[in-house]
Amino acid sequence: MTTNKSQWFVYVLRCADNSLYTGITTDVERRVKEHNSKTKSAAKYTRARQPVEMVYHEQSDGRSGASRRECVIKKLTKAKKEALINQPQQSID
């Protein structure tokens, strides 16, 4: 996925232990690769729970909007995050 640097995304990963990790990025494909690496570019949380897979992402208006949405998603219960993941998504192209 090629993105314009002004485009920010909120994403949710499913880890090998079935836990969910939420973050923000400008390039979701690159970020998933980083999370699946053993380097410091992977979050400490996901390095210990690899492999991870992208299960949800949405485009946001700028970094601050993505950060606010990330905070909202992180506060959801796991059941509500699963419901968000399982809802039909619209294309971001």
- Residue 89 and residue 69: Cα distance in Å, rounded? 16
pLDDT given at position 90:
53
Structure tokens at 7: 């485009």
pLDDT given at position 89:
63
Using the predicted structure, report yes or no on whether residue 4 has a pLDDT greater than 80: no
- Residue 88 and residue 50: Cα distance in Å, rounded? 26
pLDDT given at position 91:
44
Domains for the chain: give ranges and CATH numbers.
7-86 (3.40.1440.10)
pLDDT given at position 88:
75
State pLDDT tens for residues 56-93.
999 998 999 999 999 999 999 999 999 999 987 654 44
% of the chain exceeding 90 in pLDDT: 80
- Residue 8 and residue 50: Cα distance in Å, rounded? 24
pTM of the model: 0.86
State pLDDT tens for residues 16-53.
999 999 999 999 999 999 999 989 889 999 999 999 99
Backbone φ, ψ for residue 42 (5° rounding): -80, 145
